[in-house]
Amino acid sequence: MSVRLKSVSKEYRNIKALDNVNLEISKGEFFVILGPSGSGKTTLLRVIAGLEEITQGNVFIDDDEVTKLPPSRRKVAMVFQNYALYPHKSVLENLLMPVEGEMKRDEASKLAKHLSTLLGIQEYLTSYPSELSGGQQQRVALARALMKNPKVFLMDEPLSNLDAIQRVSARKLIKDIQRQNQITTIYVTHDQVEAMALADRVAIMNKGKIVQLGTPEEIYSKVEDEFVASFFGNPPMSIINGRILDIQGQIGVRAEDVELGQGELRGRITDVEFWGDRYLVYVSLGEEEVRAFHPVRLNVGEEIKLRFRKFSGPWKS
Ligand SMILES: Nc1ncnc2c1ncn2[C@@H]1O[C@H](COP(=O)(O)OP(=O)(O)OP(=O)(O)O)[C@@H](O)[C@H]1O
């Protein structure tokens, strides 16, 4: 199913949580919404789910307008950041609830067991949510949403409570299930790596607006404004005053585009972080600071020559 938002705005008293959002998500697409805290990501998902009345605009699922339809009639499944599990029901009962009356019980139990095994929670089927860790509860919520084989899957930071290893495997599982079943998925995160790993396309939000939209590769290589530059990528671009290159305005440079050891610029190393396969080096250029990837450890305090292989901008600011 496709999802379309036309000029959608949502105001809470004096806050514009969504400001004239236009969006078209295709059937089977994995669409990620990335943005800082408070940018409107959750509100956008809740609007699509029908949990939030909008101030202005229209919402369509396939070609049907659903703006005024209640959540139960929208055929979407949502996984919330805070799980929303039934506390007085066991994990298995939580998993069976969404398909009650729609699927035979033994068939549903089989599916519940299969999904719990995939998500590594099979040994907790008889436990209650309060007996589980945050990460385990999150995986139950994920399994529960998958029970219904939804046509549209809305996920709000569904992996935020998993540890680094679980995150990588759960991420792969979500992507596999999504791909196999061609589920249109809208996934909210503020994790750069997750966004780049999962998305067919990413929308970057700031202050209720979509500020850039494209494939992760497009956004990574063609940054359209300073906010996206300061936000997208791991690490994001270093934003510096173009003056040091005789350019007017702010420019952004990726750590992999800063070459250390040669060039016309001179800086001082202020910090070095070990990143596994390389080092992230912080270099001060007077009032500016840039981050650079480098293959070997360098010494803090050392002076170094540098140059930018490429940069983005200058942007009007
Ligand atoms: N029920 C509400 N009443 C009033 N203001 C709200 C309500 N829900 C959200 N807001 C405001 O709307 C804006 C967008 O909130 P939203 O939860 O969509 O952001 P978010 O990007 O999901 O943030 P986070 O990453 O922190 O979850 C924020 O300024 C928030 O304070």
Whether 42 lines ligand 1, by a CB cut-off of 6 Å, is yes
Whether 146 lines ligand 1, by a CB cut-off of 6 Å, is no
Whether 204 lines ligand 1, by a CB cut-off of 6 Å, is no
Flag whether the ipTM exceeds 0.90: yes
Distance of alpha carbon 249 from alpha carbon 316, whole angstroms: 6
**pLDDT at site 75:** 81
**Which residue from 130, 148, 116, 142 is spatially nearest to 86, judged by alpha carbons?**
130
Question: How remote is the CA of residue 153 from the centroid of ligand 1, in Å?
Answer: 20
Distance of alpha carbon 95 from alpha carbon 147, whole angstroms: 7
**pLDDT at site 276:** 96
pLDDT tens, N- to C-terminus, the chain (317 residues): 899 999 999 999 989 999 999 999 999 999 999 999 999 999 999 999 999 999 999 999 998 999 999 988 888 888 876 667 999 999 999 999 988 888 899 999 999 999 999 888 999 999 999 999 888 888 898 899 888 878 899 999 888 888 888 888 888 888 988 888 889 999 999 888 899 999 999 999 999 999 999 999 999 989 988 999 999 999 999 999 999 899 999 999 999 999 999 999 999 999 999 999 999 999 999 999 999 999 999 999 999 999 999 999 998 75
Residue 133: C-alpha distances to residues 83, 127, 138, 198 (Å) = 12, 11, 9, 25
Whether 43 lines ligand 1, by a CB cut-off of 6 Å, is yes
Q: What residue's CA is closest to ligand 1, atom 29?
A: 38
> Structure tokens of 312?
């983005």
Question: How remote is the CA of residue 167 from the centroid of ligand 1, in Å?
Answer: 25
Element holding 73 (H helix, E strand): none
**pLDDT at site 158:** 85
Whether 38 lines ligand 1, by a CB cut-off of 6 Å, is yes
Residue length of the chain: 317
Ligand 1 atom closest to the Cα of residue 39 is 21
**pLDDT at site 149:** 77
Residue 221: C-alpha distances to residues 20, 180, 192, 239, 307 (Å) = 26, 29, 15, 15, 19
| 30-34 and 64-65 beta bridge pairing | unpaired
**pLDDT at site 102:** 86
Ligand 1 atom closest to the Cα of residue 35 is 21
**pLDDT at site 167:** 86
**CA end-to-end span of the chain:** 39
For residues 3-18, b (16+ Cβ closer than 10 Å) or e, as one string? Answer: bbbbebbbeeeeebbb
Whether 39 lines ligand 1, by a CB cut-off of 6 Å, is yes
Q: Could you list the beta-strand ranges (E) of 248-298.
A: 250-253, 258-274, 279-285, 288-294
Whether 72 lines ligand 1, by a CB cut-off of 6 Å, is no
**Which bin fits 262, alpha (ψ -120 to 50), beta or left (φ > 0)?**
beta
Whether 189 lines ligand 1, by a CB cut-off of 6 Å, is no
Element holding 149 (H helix, E strand): none
**Which domains can be identified in the chain, with CATH numbers?**
3-226 (3.40.50.300), 235-315 (2.40.50.140)
**Which residue from 229, 205, 215 is spatially nearest to 8, judged by alpha carbons?**
205
**pLDDT at site 317:** 58
